[in-house]
Amino acid sequence: MVQNTAAELETRVKSLLSRMTLAEKAAQMMQIPFFMVTREEALLWARRGAGSFLHVLGDDARELQKAALETRLGIPVLFGIDAIHGHALNDRATIFPSQLSGACSWNPSLIEEMGRVTAREVATDGLHWTFSPVLCLGRDTRWGRIDETFGEDPFLAGELGAAIIRGYQGDRLDDDESIAACAKHYIGYGEAVGGRDACDTEMTFRKMREVFLPPFRRAVDAGVATVMTAYGSIDGTPFTASEKSLKSILKEELGFDGFVVTDWDNVNSLVSRQHVAADLDEASLLAANAGNDMIMTTEAFYESAIRLVESGRLSERVLDTAVANILRIKLRMGLFERPEKRGKPGCFACAEHLDASLRLARESVTLLKNDGVLPLSKPISRIAVIGPNADDIRAQYGDWTYFSQPVANPGRTPQRPYTTLLEGMRARAGEQGATICYHPGCGVLPDPADDLDGALEAARGCDVIILALGDVEEQTGEFKDRADLSLSGKQEELFLRLTGLNIPIVTVLISSKPLCVPRIVAGSSAFLAAFNGGMFGGQAIAEVIFGRINPSGKLPISFPRHSGQVPVYYNQLPGWHGDKYVDLPETPLFSFGEGLSYTRFTYSDLRVDADAYSIRFTLKNEGGRAGAETAQVYLRDLVSSVLSPVKRLVAFQKVWLEAGESREVVFALRREDFSLVLPDERRVVEPGEFMLSVGGSSKDEDLISVTIYLR
């Protein structure tokens, strides 16, 4: 490992800067997307001294690095890739559940392990940097990138985000198995109006600090190396041009000491989409002065930056600061001594890594309804597995895999190992001597091959129907926002026709987000949310269905009943006249934190020490089976000088209990947990009454509460 003291590192940064020309500094601020330039153009950028390349693998990366190291100063290139849920753009790598699916585990240690495995495989590919985690909040489920979030809650997103950053970066960035993380998108990208990707955000600085900044504060505290700028705006100023957001808050107030990279073509967007700059020179001036250190994709920034400095419009000190931030990370990563990460040869999809993906998938399956049909325990001879997502690995993986990025590749051959739901059900049924009758029934998207009659014939005479519905990759991701969150194609018609067989139906939602399925839930004997479960999502679901594992998933996001009910996140502000719609219940179909088990947990004996900010209670497994319960602590400020949420999560812990076991659970809160943000942006704790609640979900009926007075 490289052992640079802080003083030695700064000396090396200053030495390099003193020898760099203006053109070399401008080039160091550039990130070039490899798949959008020719090989000759990429080599030209490397010889100019480009700071980074995006989405380049293997020998191509080695060739570019060789060209960079042969330049006058030999500054190594930083190679970045979107390893979002595993190094999944490489078809040999371990593919994990999506962030949203993994968040259902409410298990930071498993999320950290996901980051560690991903880092090891990315590093073994010789690469340095992942554009993860996404710390945007999934509060408007119409948005196409909900699957990339840890859900709707700032506290949960912050805890899981910090965990995966620890996994990516390890104890030291210069370790051969560590890579740099990137917290994105700074800030409030998911709050785009109407769920429209990259659209304007209705954001104020107070709202930013209250709702969206806490996960990024946790990321900075965890030592995240880089942060990515969002597309949106705050008080009318694009974040790419917001000096207050990037310099004053992120770098100075939060103490972020890495570098900031723009999102895709953000500088050009100031001209072409947001129309706050007349030309690229003006846009480059805004972006550089705001505190963006590296410019993704906008190649014209290079010449603009040189031109702006030479004309006196932009101080060269701005470039010096940006380049110093980039060089500092490269030095901390040890790239000058070892430009190519070595990783751990032979680790791709090794047994240890595959087991990590399976364990996360198992804890992510979330049981939301069960009338007693699950687990399948009585003798069953015939099981129907029906539905378009029962045997579709692309749907099970979701976005950001070798099927979809950086360009769509739907014809790509799926690489083993993986287990679809159908395969998982066949394996488990075979152990019990049961027969599986399979038929897809219809496509998720309308398809001439839809055959609802065939599905009914396959299911007729079976003891139970396992129905896999949801969405597909074509319906999720960037540029793929949805106005209608209902099931697409003939999926609901398929369900309704199956109900006519009077056979119990276990519906499994394999999707990128919560969909509006109230009729499906009402007519199903059991309902499970699996989202995008990665390589072994199908195995994990089957194990839950057959009772091989006791489900412990809890929702990190609420399910709307109807698209018109969005947004329906749990921690909304009070004040709604009537508190309900005239044509729809005001409550979500399923609430944040909700999830069932094959056993029953009870909460009692709640005690709070207001002076010590501690809370304790008894958690008991009342059932006859061991299981894990995620105990959740919510807080409400009963009277405050600004509007406060009806409740907000301030702590959680996943607790394993044997059948009949009781345990005292203790949470040590902080005074800051009781704070709010005033109109002048100061965070304070106002004296007064607070309600503290504990339970198994955010629903009032699942909580026990006590009121305390805080001085």
Give the tens place of pLDDT for each residue, 597-638: 999 999 999 999 999 999 999 999 999 999 999 999 999 999
What is the rounded CA–CA span in Å between residue 594 and residue 568?
A: 14
In the prediction, which pLDDT does 244 show? 98
Q: Name the pairing type of β-strands 688-695 and 703-710.
A: antiparallel
What is the rounded CA–CA span in Å between residue 660 and residue 295?
A: 57
Confidence class for position 377, pLDDT limits 50, 70, 90: confident
Q: How many helices (H) and strands (E) does the chain have?
A: 21, 25
Confidence class for position 3, pLDDT limits 50, 70, 90: low
Q: Which residues contact 582 (CB under 8 A, 6 or more apart)?
A: none
Q: Report pLDDT digits (tens) over 271-326.
A: 999 999 999 999 999 999 999 999 999 999 999 999 999 999 999 999 999 999 99
Query: Residue 668 burial by CB count (10 A; 0-12/13-18/19+): exposed, middle or buried?
Result: exposed
CA dihedral 630, 424, 460, 458 (to 10 degrees): 140
On average, the pLDDT of the chain sits at 96
What is the rounded CA–CA span in Å between residue 330 and residue 75?
A: 9
Worst-scoring range by mean pLDDT, 112-121, 146-155, 424-433, 533-542?
Answer: 424-433
Confidence class for position 578, pLDDT limits 50, 70, 90: confident
Position 249 pLDDT exceeds 80: yes
What is the rounded CA–CA span in Å between residue 96 and residue 440?
A: 25
Position 10 pLDDT exceeds 70: yes
In the prediction, which pLDDT does 2 show? 57
Q: Where are the domains of the chain?
A: 6-17+80-294+317-332, 365-565, 601-710
Q: Report pLDDT digits (tens) over 660-689.
A: 999 999 999 999 999 999 999 999 999 999
**Cβ proximity of 112 and 140 under 8 Å:** no
The region, left, alpha or beta by phi > 0 then psi within -120 to 50, assigned to residue 173 is alpha
Measuring CA to CA, which residue among 453, 456, 463 is closest to residue 432? 463
Worst-scoring range by mean pLDDT, 21-35, 136-150, 156-170, 392-406?
Answer: 392-406
Q: Report pLDDT digits (tens) over 225-237.
A: 999 999 999 999 9
Confidence class for position 379, pLDDT limits 50, 70, 90: confident
DSSP 657: E
Q: Name the pairing type of β-strands 683-684 and 676-677.
A: antiparallel
In the prediction, which pLDDT does 626 show? 98
Mean pLDDT of 104-129: 97
6-17+80-294+317-332 belongs to CATH 3.20.20.300: yes
Architecture of the domain defined by 365-565: 3-Layer(aba) Sandwich (3.40)
Q: Which residues contact 408 (CB under 8 A, 6 or more apart)?
A: none
Q: Name the pairing type of β-strands 703-710 and 233-234.
A: unpaired
In the prediction, which pLDDT does 70 show? 97
In the prediction, which pLDDT does 1 show? 54
Q: Report pLDDT digits (tens) over 493-511.
A: 999 999 999 999 999 999 9
What is the rounded CA–CA span in Å between residue 90 and residue 87?
A: 6
Position 407 pLDDT exceeds 90: no
What is the rounded CA–CA span in Å between residue 130 and residue 122?
A: 8
**Cβ proximity of 443 and 386 under 8 Å:** no
Terminal Cα distance for the chain, rounded: 50
Rg of the chain, C-alpha, whole Å: 26
Q: Report pLDDT digits (tens) over 328-338.
A: 999 999 999 99
Q: What percent of the chain has pLDDT over 70?
A: 99
Confidence class for position 159, pLDDT limits 50, 70, 90: very high
Mean pLDDT of 530-557: 98
In the prediction, which pLDDT does 410 show? 75
**Cβ proximity of 357 and 110 under 8 Å:** no
Q: What percent of the chain has pLDDT over 90?
A: 94
In the prediction, which pLDDT does 408 show? 72
What is the rounded CA–CA span in Å between residue 539 and residue 611?
A: 48
The CA-atom distances, in angstroms, between 550 and each of 96, 149, 367, 380, 545 are 20, 25, 10, 20, 9
In the prediction, which pLDDT does 579 show? 81
Confidence class for position 202, pLDDT limits 50, 70, 90: confident
Count the Cβ atoms, other than its own, within 10 Å of residue 372: 8
In the prediction, which pLDDT does 230 show? 96
Chain centre to alpha carbon of residue 606: 33
Global pTM value: 0.97
The CA-atom distances, in angstroms, between 510 and each of 96, 387, 497, 530 are 14, 10, 20, 5
**Cβ proximity of 262 and 292 under 8 Å:** yes
Fold type of domain 601-710: Immunoglobulin-like (2.60.40)
Mean pLDDT of 568-596: 94
Mean pLDDT of 409-413: 83
Mean pLDDT of 513-539: 98
Q: Report pLDDT digits (tens) over 360-373.
A: 999 999 999 999 99
In the prediction, which pLDDT does 398 show? 96
